[in-house]
Amino acid sequence: MLHRPKDQMKRPRVENRATCGICRAAPFDGLIRIRRKYFGRLIIFDPPSDAAYSPPRKFARQGRSAPAQTAQTKLRLPTADDGPSVTRLIASCPPLDVNSAYCNLLQCTHFAQSCIIAERAGTITGWVSSYRPPSEPDSFFVWQVAVAPEARGQRLAARMIEALLARPAAEGVTALITTVTNDNRASWSLFEGLASRWGASLSKSPLFHQDTHFAGAHATEWLARIGPLPRTAPQPIDQGELAT
């Protein structure tokens, strides 16, 4: 805050109020609200002649500018062209296992109907791969869920899964299954939240053991099962755009 000796502090004229304070472009009413909120009282002064606008502190501290108009996130089918971006996204989301680029290409093509892309401003920010196991066709197995750091905290993972369950490829599914390691709290929170939202139970049991199946190189994968799923599938939302 800028202080001046009392004998130098002059209240500006009414017609100049729009140019007073830290931000010269701010209207006077807005200035009152800001000063009352942060300082408890209104202090108005003439800015120095070289004063310039700077972003709000919460953005300046993080080295970013104030956000512009809210972008839109589109949920869509993957294509072969998405393969490299999917590989990079998965690599940026530990502790997810990084599959081969060829594996991701097959998911984007052979399994496109049971996989989903979240795209924002031309950048892929979310990915879910899944399929219906041939030996258990009434279940929907979620293989990997990846959300870019900048898109987290917006229920994007849950919305992608619900969009998948609304597709014709998931018709007749009665349970959602996945495997999760015990220490992956983000994944457990996601699937516990979905079970609660759907009013379904969630059970867990060890499936692939650390020593028996991974030779000690990977933590035990627990099978999580959510079901029975609601008779009415979530409304399809992957054909349009979602504000985030």
pLDDT tens profile 134-169 = 999 999 999 999 999 999 999 999 999 999 999 999
In 3D space, the residue among 95, 71, 96 whose CA is nearest the CA of residue 86 turns out to be: 96
- Choose between 101 and 25: higher pLDDT: 101
- The per-residue DSSP string of 47-73 comes to PPTT------HHHHTTT-PPP-SPPEE
Residue 60 covered by a domain:
no
Share of the chain above pLDDT 70, in %: 66
- Strands (E) in the chain, as ranges, are 72-76, 116-120, 123-131, 139-147, 175-181, 201-208, 221-227, 241-243
How many structural domains compose the chain? 1
Residue 128 covered by a domain:
yes
Report which secondary-structure segment, H or E, holds 160.
Answer: helix 156-165
- Residue 105: which domain range? 75-227
pLDDT tens profile 74-95 = 999 999 999 999 999 999 998 8
Residue 210 covered by a domain:
yes
Mean pLDDT within 107-125: 96
Question: Is 129's pLDDT higher than 90?
Answer: yes
CA dihedral 180, 192, 95, 170 (to 10 degrees): 70
| The predicted structure's pLDDT at residue 144 | 95
CATH number of the domain residue 147 falls in = 3.40.630.30
Residue 67 covered by a domain:
no
pLDDT tens profile 24-37 = 333 333 333 334 44
Residue 129 covered by a domain:
yes
